[in-house]
Structures are given as C-alpha cells and as structure tokens.
C-alpha cells in the first residue's frame, strides 16, 4: 500500500493512502496492470487505537451520493456507525473517483471539454467504474482479502453493483436506505418520490404553519424582483423549492424553519410583503441548496443500467411538470426533494460548465451495466438491508420488491429513522447483531 501519512484523531488511528486506477475500465480487468489515462484513488484506513496491530477483518464503506467523498470522522461517535464498526473491523474509507482527495472533478475540469467529450468523461464516474475501482483496490492493496461492505444511500446502489459484478470479493453486505428498484428507471423512481415530497411539505407546514406564509411571500418576491444570492446565482422560485431536498432527513424541518425564521429584516422579523430579505437568509439559502460538484450532474444517471430503451431526458422535470401542485405559482408552495432540473445548469454558476455534457447524457442510451438481475437472483452473499418505511429518496415499496428477488437477502423495515439513520448509534449495531446471530458472519468472529 502507498502510505502517505498516519496519525490519530480522538479515538481513531488513521492511515492515508493513494493508488491509481484507469480512467476507463472498458476492456480492463480489476487486479491487472493497465495503460492509458489514470486517476488517483485516495482512501483512508481507520481502526481503534488498541487494534492497530491486530489482524482484523476489513469493512469498506460505500459512501452515498452520487459525488460524495468518504467520511471525515472527528471521533468514533461523530458518525454513529463507526463507533460500533471499529469494535470489530479495520475500516476502509475510499473517496470515490472524482471526489475528495481522489482525482477531483468539478466545473473547471469539464469546462475544458466539448459536450460529447464531457458526456463520455462523466459516464466514467458511475457505479460500474466506482465498483471496479474498489475491486482493484481489494486485489492490489489488500492482498485479495475478502471484505464486508456497508453502503449508505447511493452506497446501497453500489452494493448491488458489487454483488452483480464481483460477488466473490465480499463476505457480507449491509445497506442502509439504499436498495434501488431492479429493474427500474429514473421516471418510475420520481413517480414514487414526488408524492412523498408533497406529503413531506404538507407535514412541514402542519408543524410550522407560519412558514407557508413566509415561503409564499418570498416566492412572490423573487418571482417579481431580481434577487441575487451571495455567490452571484439568482434566487428563483425553483431554487427556493429545493429547500425541500433535505426533508428526508432529521432534523431538516427545523433547519429549514430557522432559515425562514430569519428571512425578513424589518421590525421583529415577522413575515412582511414590504420587508427586505436579510443577507443572512440569502446566505443560508445559498448554503442549504448548494451541493457537491458531481451530485446534480450525475443524479439521474445512477438509474441507467446498460443499453436503455429510451433516453432519460430529464425524468424528474417531466414528472414534476405533470403535477400542477408543484408549479412555481402554486400556493402553498410545494418543495422538491432529491430531483435535478434543467434550469439548474442555466442558473447555478457551479453547474454551468456541465450543461452541454449533461444535455448530451440526457439523450444518450449507452451506459455501463450496473445490475445483473440473474446474478442477484442467485446471490449467496448475506445481504442485510435497513429499509426506512417513510424514505423520501429511496421508496421502501420499491426496495422491498427488489429484495424479494435477491438471494440471501434480509430486510429490517423501520419507520423509526429517516434516510440518514446510519449516522446514529442504533442502525448499524442492529444490522450487525442480526447478521451475527443468523451466522452470516461465521468465520470472521
């Protein structure tokens, strides 16, 4: 392994590593040498200080996203699953290609490419490439030792790709809020999630009725007056609606409520059509609606499996347009969730360089294979999935349908947690104990 440095944070021993992988995995095999353009793949290995010299089994964390870097723990309890996992495992935290300290992709990189070049390049940052990176890492840097996987959100999608392509590399898998519909497509997904977005918005207004008035006044204001966020992006009604993107997590209702609470400058800050919007409010909206550079450009393509029957063609936008309650002039204003729209690539400076490439991808039907239903059907790797019944991003009804057709899979269905439940101290411990008691981890402990 290429060790860059080692150090400690409170309660954790940390090693930073880097290796190289091919940009394009087509016609290449993980574990073998390769030529051509390379990417750096950065990963951390963490363990409890008392286990530094112990021969522990490996657990690799498959980060959510798309476009999400691995966790940067402050201590074992800062990301709840880590505190339990370091009791049993040596943990590998990769920065997926394009993120974190791996070869980084943002607008400056894509701006140097034509639309066709950018489209082909961005396709190299989806699950088929990410999983091959991890399998190459396992084979070349960890001596081919099998590992356990833990996939959060999009990491669950990656888990099914891993189980489809390289099940021989995995001892057992855990997923939290991340079982996609297989087979499935982006439009089907949004036909399930937009009604959930509406339900979440109504629940938000029931909890904080005054915020319906606040949002209506703000939406009318920005629709009729030019309003600019601190980074120069226009504040539009469409962007205001994306405040609902976090409504599938806790305590997002409270976070949005406090943003709106400080919106108006005059008097005691009560909602007022004549009061200007505060600078703090504009900053908070900018921050709350910002995202990692690859998150929106890749959002709909995480559902693209192999050769498509038809282009994705802005699936969320089409579903949203068919639901008049989400119109920008509808009141009360409905907020949108994890959904990408064409206007983002015209209004948001960070996304402008991606526009041509994403437009081309939206009309493409040629993608890598990420799921093999036949392989999943005869899967033998124990898969333990936490399915959140009220999940706004990954509908539980679709997850359970998928799991019904995956061999050796087990679902724990709960409404106690939202999509981010793994970050507490209960979910991973529950999954681990179930797998241990079932004998799925025999030979490891």
CB atoms near residue 70 (< 10 Å)? 23
- Give me Rg for the CA atoms of the chain: 22
Q: Which of 88, 136, 292, 419 is catalytic?
A: 419
Active site residue 279: no
Asked if residue 19 lies in contact with residue 141, where contact means CB atoms within 8 angstroms, the answer is yes
Strands 12-22 and 3-9: antiparallel
CB atoms near residue 302 (< 10 Å)? 20
CA distance 164 to 375: 6
Shortest CA distance to 179 belongs to which of 151, 198, 200, 199?
151
Asked if residue 177 lies in contact with residue 234, where contact means CB atoms within 8 angstroms, the answer is no
Q: What share of the chain is helix, strand, coil (3-state, %, to 5)?
A: 40, 15, 40
Q: Which of 103, 119, 153, 399 is catalytic?
A: 153
Asked if residue 336 lies in contact with residue 343, where contact means CB atoms within 8 angstroms, the answer is no
Tokens of 118: 């950018």
Active site residue 192: no
* DSSP line for 368-420: -----HHHHHT--S-EEEEEETT-SSS-HHHHHHHHTTSTTEEEEEESSS-TT
Active site residue 103: no
Asked if residue 45 lies in contact with residue 71, where contact means CB atoms within 8 angstroms, the answer is no
Coil, strand, or helix at residue 89? coil
**Cα angle 126-98-418, degrees, rounded to a multiple of 5:** 65
CA distance 320 to 336: 9
Question: Which residues are tagged catalytic?
Answer: 153, 366, 419
């Amino acid at each position: 392994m290429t060790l860059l440095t080692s150090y400690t944070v409170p309660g954790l021993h940390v090693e930073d590593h880097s290796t190289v992988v091919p940009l394009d995995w087509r016609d290449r095999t993980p574990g073998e040498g390769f030529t051509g353009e390379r990417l750096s793949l950065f990963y951390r290995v963490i363990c409890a200080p008392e286990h530094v010299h112990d021969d522990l089994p490996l657990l690799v964390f498959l980060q959510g996203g798309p476009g999400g870097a691995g966790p940067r723990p402050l201590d074992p309890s800062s990301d709840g699953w880590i505190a339990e996992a370091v009791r049993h495992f040596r943990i590998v935290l990769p920065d997926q290609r394009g993120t974190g300290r791996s070869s980084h992709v943002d607008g400056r990189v894509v701006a140097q490419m034509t639309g066709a070049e950018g489209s082909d390049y961005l396709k190299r940052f989806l699950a088929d490439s990410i999983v091959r990176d991890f399998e190459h890492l396992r084979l070349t840097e960890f001596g081919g030792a099998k590992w356990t996987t833990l996939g959060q959100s999009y990491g669950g999608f990656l888990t099914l790709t891993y189980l489809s392509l390289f099940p021989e590399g995995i001892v057992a898998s855990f997923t939290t809020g991340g079982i996609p519909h297989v087979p499935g497509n982006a439009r089907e997904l949004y036909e399930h999630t937009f009604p959930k977005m509406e339900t979440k918005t109504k629940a938000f207004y029931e909890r904080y009725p005054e915020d319906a008035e606040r949002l209506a006044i703000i939406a009318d204001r920005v629709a009729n007056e030019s309003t600019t966020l601190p980074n120069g992006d226009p504040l539009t009604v469409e962007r205001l609606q994306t405040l609902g993107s976090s409504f599938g997590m806790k305590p997002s209702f409270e976070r949005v409520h406090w943003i709106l609470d400080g919106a108006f400058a005059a008097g005691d800050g009560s909602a007022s059509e004549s009061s200007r919007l505060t600078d703090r409010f504009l900053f908070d909206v900018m921050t709350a609606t910002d995202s990692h550079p690859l998150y929106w450009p890749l959002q709909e393509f995480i559902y693209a499996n192999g050769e498509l029957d038809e282009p994705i063609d802005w699936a969320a936008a089409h579903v949203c347009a068919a639901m008049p309650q989400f119109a920008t002039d509808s009141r009360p204003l409905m907020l949108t969730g994890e959904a990408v729209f064409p206007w983002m690539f015209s209004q948001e400076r960070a996304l402008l360089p991606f526009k041509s490439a994403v437009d081309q991808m939206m009309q493409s039907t040629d993608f890598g294979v990420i799921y093999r239903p036949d392989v999943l059907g005869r899967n033998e790797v124990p898969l333990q999935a936490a399915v959140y019944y009220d999940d706004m991003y990954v509908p539980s009804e679709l997850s359970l349908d998928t799991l019904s057709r995956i061999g050796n899979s087990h679902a724990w269905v709960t409404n106690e947690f939202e999509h981010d439940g793994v970050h507490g101290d209960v979910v991973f411990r529950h999954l681990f104990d179930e797998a241990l008691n079932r004998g799925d981890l025999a030979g490891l402990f």
